[in-house]
Amino acid sequence: MRKQFAVIGLGRFGASVATALARMGCEVVGIDADAAKVEAVMNEITHAIQADARDEEALKAAGVRNVDVAIVAIGEDVEANILVTLIVKEMGIKCVVAKALNDLHAKVLAKIGADKIVFPERDMGIRVARALAAGNVLEHIDLSPEYSIEEIAAPHRLAGKTLAELNLRAKHGAMVMAIKRKEEIIVAPGGDDVIRVGDILVLLGPTKVLERFQERE
Ligand code: ATP
């Protein structure tokens, strides 16, 4: 069966999540109190419903109880955001994702049982800053506060070296998971593989170590 989602609050963030999920083939019910927001996504998602999400009966009528994941994307109205998170959690939805405005708000969301808390503006700001500050970082995924996966354009100083010569695992606790070379991808490369100019390296390791691979002028 297709995975079912409810997106509550269809502002810029909520509408973007809802339409992206629908395009990926998921079943998506979207709810917003504002008729114009509902109309804007009506043709792109499974159901778009105008309702005040603080009304539990309205949520039930919209079928929210049966979804696999509920995303609470109400922004500025922190009270509504918290109340709706509590309502959907109490309905028994296994995975509730809530948007937080700040750390204190996030703490409250965690206390009432939100399973995942997102800070879209803050996270996007960090991504943009990273991309601008370190010109060769293409992708960055935080695995934990200390570890991450990074896709970086291989710094010129590494060209011509084998992975054995770099010896990243022993020296720094980091590893090259893959090398992307034009159309080709070398998954789990070995010690004999040589880094070439133009390669893209997929690295896993301590964030502090990976930062050293960011090419500086
Ligand atoms: P974004 O940055 O995603 O545009 P935002 O942080 O500015 O959002 P808001 O615009 O405050 O957040 O809220 C997002 C949406 O949630 C709005 O379209 C708003 O109509 C809707 N919303 C707010 N409160 C409720 C509610 N109680 N029930 C249903 N929808 C609501």
Which ligand 1 atom sits nearest the alpha carbon of residue 53?
A: 28
Q: Is the CB of 192 under 6 A from ligand 1?
A: no
Which ligand 1 atom sits nearest the alpha carbon of residue 76?
A: 11
Q: Is the CB of 120 under 6 A from ligand 1?
A: no
When comparing pLDDT for 202 and 216, which is higher? 202
| Cα pseudo-dihedral 202, 205, 209, 213, rounded to 10 | 0
H helices of 62-178, in order, are 78-90, 103-111, 120-133, 163-166, 168-172
Digit-coded pLDDT (tens) for 160-213: 999 999 999 999 999 999 999 998 999 999 999 999 999 999 999 999 998 888
Angle in degrees, CA 64, 103, 69, rounded to 5: 20
Domain positions in the chain:
4-118, 123-214
The dotted CATH code for 4-118 is: 3.40.50.720
Which tokens belong to 138? 């293409």
For residues 59 and 70, the answer to whether their CB atoms sit within 8 Å is no
pTM above 0.85, yes or no: no
Q: Is the CB of 41 under 6 A from ligand 1?
A: no
Q: Which CATH class is domain 123-214?
A: alpha beta
For residues 9 and 72, the answer to whether their CB atoms sit within 8 Å is yes
